[in-house]
Amino acid sequence: MRLPTLNLLQSDQSLLITNQWTLLTNLLHCYKESQILPFSQRLIDAHDDLKSNYVIYKGLVEEFLVSIYKTVEQYLCFNDDLRKLSSNDRSIILRSAADNLCCMSGAFIMQHCHLYDLDAYLKVINEKFGKSPMNIHFWARKFVDRDIVLVKLSLSLFAFSENTCCYYSNTSDNLTNPIDILEIQNKYVEVTWKYLLYKYGYYNAMKRFLNITLWLASMNILAVHAQSLPVHVHNVNSIIEQTELTLILDDVDQIIEINQ
């Protein structure tokens, strides 16, 4: 999905300043849903043909899920605000962000690509994750906005919601600089609200912002349930380990560059 940023700026009558337009564009580019869409399309195209061949279709679903987790990992590696946090705060936020984003991006893609309509897909997912999480998915789907720009801004809002990190017993939830997280949250909320006003006007902006709040709340419930799913926890831990390694290596490269 491409946002015509240049055209928007040329005819800009919004309250967004240049730095906020830059932030909005960067956040949109951080989450690359285009890498997931081919896998979801394969599920749709193969559904009727492979419905009777459960093993092959299950393999396609696994590839689709891997693409979701991989896209989340790339978002975390590309997000400048996460990269600039202290190592302690980054470690805390990274754990909740990986979990939150996996739950939320899965819900977004399933709704956006109409995967809820594929009974073979739902059968595989129910067997893999259980009925309770899928019931939450079905309940929360009505909160997913049709505006992909708004969805991707919502993903960033949820990424820096640190309230679920308390579910990781081996992680301290004491942020070294909590004000840094609040500033990031406020920055993302302001950009989201100004985008809503620009695109939809005050009345519809209020309705959509309320919908975002309800979606975030429903995804919080899903994230809590997901903590009891070993396959999900394993995948999230893999994302965290790989992202931490990538960011640490980036930090080392910056130190070496500065000292040269």
pLDDT tens, position by position, 194-211 = 999 999 999 999 999 999
User: Would you state the pLDDT for residue 5?
Assistant: 47
User: Would you state the pLDDT for residue 52?
Assistant: 65
3-state class of 13 per DSSP? coil
pLDDT averaged over every residue in the chain:
86
Confidence grade of residue 130 (pLDDT, cut at 50, 70, 90): confident
Residue from 154, 191, 195, 242 nearest 14 by CA: 195
Summarize the confidence of residues 59-82 as an average pLDDT.
94
- Our CA dihedral for 156, 158, 159, 163, rounded to 10 degrees, sits at 150
User: Would you state the pLDDT for residue 111?
Assistant: 93
pLDDT digit string, tens, across residues 88-125: 888 889 988 999 999 999 999 999 999 999 988 999 99
User: Would you state the pLDDT for residue 51?
Assistant: 62
pLDDT at 11 over 90: no
Summarize the confidence of residues 7-25 as an average pLDDT.
73
- Our CA dihedral for 111, 112, 113, 118, rounded to 10 degrees, sits at 10
Decide if 107 contacts 219 (C-beta within 8 A).
Answer: yes
User: Would you state the pLDDT for residue 165?
Assistant: 44
Contacts of 81 (CB under 8 A, 6+ apart): 160, 184, 187
% of residues, the chain, pLDDT over 70: 88
Residue from 189, 235, 255, 226 nearest 62 by CA: 235
User: Would you state the pLDDT for residue 249?
Assistant: 86
pTM: 0.85
Contacts of 40 (CB under 8 A, 6+ apart): 64, 109, 113, 115
pLDDT digit string, tens, across residues 220-236: 899 888 888 898 999 99
pLDDT at 78 over 60: yes
Delineate the domains of the chain, giving CATH numbers in brackets: 16-259 (1.10.565.10)
